[in-house]
Amino acid sequence: MATRQEKNLLNNSIEQIKSSNVLSPRDKQILTDALDRLSKSKVTSRSNSRDECPEDCSSSCPYYVGDVTGDGVVDVTDIVNIIQHILGSNNLSCDEICRTDYTLDGLTNITDVVNVVGIVLGNNETFIPEFCTEVGVIPGCTD
């Protein structure tokens, strides 16, 4: 079950979504419904480790955090995929799982969801994990 702090984070995100000028009414409804389901769920985080996935996400480089679908845009679909991953209602690939973890702590949880909502609303920015740039892999570069 979500803690009081997690519920507050989700409620704040819902309020920001409702007052947003960047989302369509349909997208607002999709997100508020998904966040509401997450706040009522008994599961609020999910480990990103799976037997078939590498120990870390460096093999998934290059990628932008939050862009679960890998289409170059962080949007409502990515947020819904993250929530479904936490709730266990979708099967993401190893690369997609890596892109769900905004905080890079090996878990996908409410904090990651709230931060990715912030990207969609223009309050946060997506980023390339430092370990991708350390190995010289940057999206869009062909050298």
What is the pLDDT, as a whole number, of residue 141? 42
Q: What is the rounded CA–CA span in Å between residue 56 and residue 98?
A: 8
Q: Could you tell me if 60 and 94 are in contact, meaning their C-beta atoms sit under 8 angstroms apart?
A: yes
Cβ neighbors of 19 (< 8 A, separation 6 or more) are: none
Between CA 35 and CA 11 the distance in angstroms is: 8
pTM for the structure as a whole: 0.89
- 82 near 68, Cβ under 8 Å? yes
pLDDT tens over the chain, length 143 residues: 788 899 999 999 999 999 999 999 999 999 999 999 999 999 889 888 777 787 788 888 889 999 999 999 999 999 999 999 999 998 899 999 999 999 999 899 999 999 999 999 999 999 999 888 765 544 544 44
Q: Rounded CA gap, 87 and 77, in Å?
A: 15
C-alpha span between 69 and 76 (Å, rounded): 11
Report residue 20 as tokens. Answer: 């947003």
pLDDT value for 130: 87
